[in-house]
Structure 1
């Protein structure tokens, strides 16, 4: 469908926004309708049909949940589940906008928007109407790819493609070996900062004495071995992206120092009284789960909020189903070329052994196992005997005891019920045996 044939509905309580949108679309689409009051949406939809709806996420006091965009998105979905909805959100609402994608939103844009971007977004949605089944493409990464066709990886790609162009801070969660560093790099490479520095810091490898000098830099003479001025990682990444890996391993004292820098957006090198402004997009990663991070004896909650505007969880390989074979084909071909061997075929016994293994070491373990198989193979076919898994991963310690605090149990129960009911508050409250108002209070209490 062409843009000139489209009918667009725009809902926003800001008259200036409506005027700007009307002027933008008036000469480009068949019809543009604007509406200031969201409670008129259902009446409008009952009388007219639209190809795309552009919906603000916040209105003045109509729904006292802070989630107005989600509320009206659900109402639109109930009235017409075919129409595409683009949400317009302020920078601070990006995490809410990401949640809206699960509720059925087609896209979201951040205020202030660029006219070219919003026109492109609308045209993309109109193009997709001609091809209803659209696969999420693998994210291209300099010289490598993040591969995945499973549903869990499609969700990761969707989040990545929506979040990457923004400056939102991202927290990447996942077990060791799942590819969190690849996700971090993809976020940078698909951002507006892609031509600026990407600086990675492994916080787990920094001793307490090196933490400040490595991150914030130092002046000549600041300590015994400081023979010249040196920029820290924050300053080196200025204008680009700073990736702090293993963020869950730093001490509370280091967390306090990091929080101060993130709040003030400047650093003070060791041995100096002068502040240096820094402009970075922050990405953090950890193999520690959010429930553990939320323990304030281990990690500051105010720092979690600062680094976790948007959260991306990379699933373990055992949950990725058909991706195991997809990755296996890729790595076998890659290592055959690297070691100058003829292309391999995979015997049925090899594939069965591969797909029945749990891969506690995740993609990293798969990669090393396949590299070994290619090196040691005698012929041009890989058999089950060629596949040897790492003995290091077989003796992992079992997971620790579950968190049985009442608050944690209540939070997890609410989260599961709300997700089960696709965000429908009325159904969720009924299933939980509480009132809607009581459920809203708990959602606010646990920041869900």
Structure 2
């Protein structure tokens, strides 16, 4: 078996781990480097420019919170953004590893590992490193965001640019899929805290019994499975921004606990009594009418005012019609890059259907449909039928003054677009013979593919 031309660096304070990793990897990759001292990383990175770094998260006895691993992950990502970092941890808590993924780690491995799993992850990381080297380096601070040119969205981003420069708490409102996460990240990346963590918490997915331990952390022994002191999401975001998504779904009895943290700017871990000071910027989001919830006593008024120093409402996509085609092109380019597929384009004859469709799921729906179309694409052209947006039936005016011929033309146009110009399928759907369909297409000057 021929070895892949790649350099892998393994960093761990246990010699047996270094030996096991080297034995597992050396048959598959050209160069395997190991070190037990993370302080030698700078020299090794400069000399060998490894494709992949397998990085342990803990190096000193008694310090098992993974902070050292996060520190070195940041250093590698900043200095060598083409290098993929795979985090390794022997402890059953994956919260810090997941935080590392958000910061920029490629993946994480639990120790002890299965060799087949290790090889699979490293091979994927090598492929990703090669992909990064073929394109200009895009640092996190230069991440591309689609803004658009519609008046409503330009006004939203103008407000976001102003509030980003402050530490004001922000409440993001809008329907599902309108881009609240993207807006929260945009505000963070344009703030003075941009070099510090951005921590996303989906409050709607947290059960009541996990709420405090996840957000506030816990001390060793605080409950049955508390094997070690663990920081919560607020502490993880120290110095940066915490994004409290779906805050409108938090039940009243837990809202009081959240309010206490915001008021005191401190957090008390479960099992402890001493407050830990916080320096965290709060961005919250919800798709519910939270002012209405306050009026109905379902959401605390004092918490509402704490999170709502500045309120930003994101418009639904149907109110940004002039942005639809440009957004679709942006997402197509993004997904094409993700799957290493090039020269993909939308069928120009069907672009109007992108604008006609109301996009009830907003940007998230468009992103999902485009990603699916990219994955399933058999050619360089993506038709509207590939996007699967024909379930929508546009309202047809029954105005008695409207010619029947207009309705017939519209029906034939829609069926042709749905079937990408396939005459047989279009005729079947319309209940016409092929010659009859051709005559109507000639009548209305409708070309076929």
Q: What TM-score does the superposition give when structure 1 sets the normalisation length?
A: 0.54
CA distance in 1, matches of 2:345, 2:333: 10
Query: Structure 2: where are the runs of 5+ without partners?
Result: 1-139, 394-449
Q: 1:262 maps to which residue?
A: 262
Q: 2:343 — aligned with what?
A: 343
CA distance in 2, matches of 1:200, 1:377: 33
Which 5+ residue runs of structure 1 have no aligned equivalent? Answer: 1-139, 396-448
In the aligned structure 2, how far is the partner of 1:198 from the partner of 1:320? 28
The Cα shift of 1:193 comes to: 1.0
Q: Equivalent residue for 2:305?
A: 305
Q: State which structure, 1 or 2, has the greater radius of gyration over its C-alpha atoms.
A: 2
Q: Deviations over 1:102-154 (max 9, x none)?
A: xxxxxxxxxxxxxxxxxxxxxxxxxxxxxxxxxxxxxx965331331111110
Counterpart for residue 179 of structure 1: 179
Compare 212-221 and 338-347 and name the one that shifted more: 338-347
- Residue 165 of structure 1: aligned partner: 165
CA RMSD of aligned residues (A): 2.1
1:327 is aligned to 2:323 = no
**Alpha-carbon distance in structure 2 between the residues aligned to 1:213 and 1:336:** 40
Gap change, CA 1:337 and 1:213, over 3 Å in 2: closer
- Aligned pair 1:152/2:149, yes or no? no
Distance apart, 1:277 and its partner CA: 1.0
Q: How far apart in 1 are the matches of 2:196 and 2:378?
A: 46
Aligned twin of 2:250: 250
Residue 380 of structure 2 corresponds to residue 384 of structure 1: no
1:355 alignment partner in structure 2: 355
Q: Partners in 1 of 2:165 and 2:295 — Cα distance?
A: 31
Aligned length: 254
Q: Determine if contact 1:317/1:359 at 8 Å carries over to the other structure.
A: yes
Segment drifting more, 262-271 vs 369-378? 369-378
The residue matched to 2:167 in structure 1 has which SS?
coil
Residues 332 and 371, structure 1, Cα contact 8 Å, conserved in 2: yes
Assess if the C-alpha contact under 8 Å between 1:203 and 1:246 holds in 2.
Answer: yes
CA contact (8 A) 1:267 1:278 kept: yes
Q: 1:143 to 1:390 in 2, by over 3 A?
A: farther
- In structure 2, the CA distance between the partners of 1:329 and 1:222, relative to structure 1 (3 Å rule), is same
Aligned to 2:230: 230
Q: Secondary structure at the match of 2:295?
A: coil
Q: Which moved more, 1:243-252 or 1:365-374?
A: 365-374
Deviation at 1:369, TM superposition (A): 1.4
Partner residue in 1 for 2:221: 221
SS in structure 2 of the partner of residue 177 of structure 1: coil
| CA shift for structure 1 position 342 | 4.0
2:143 is aligned to 143
- Counterpart in the other structure of 2:273: 273
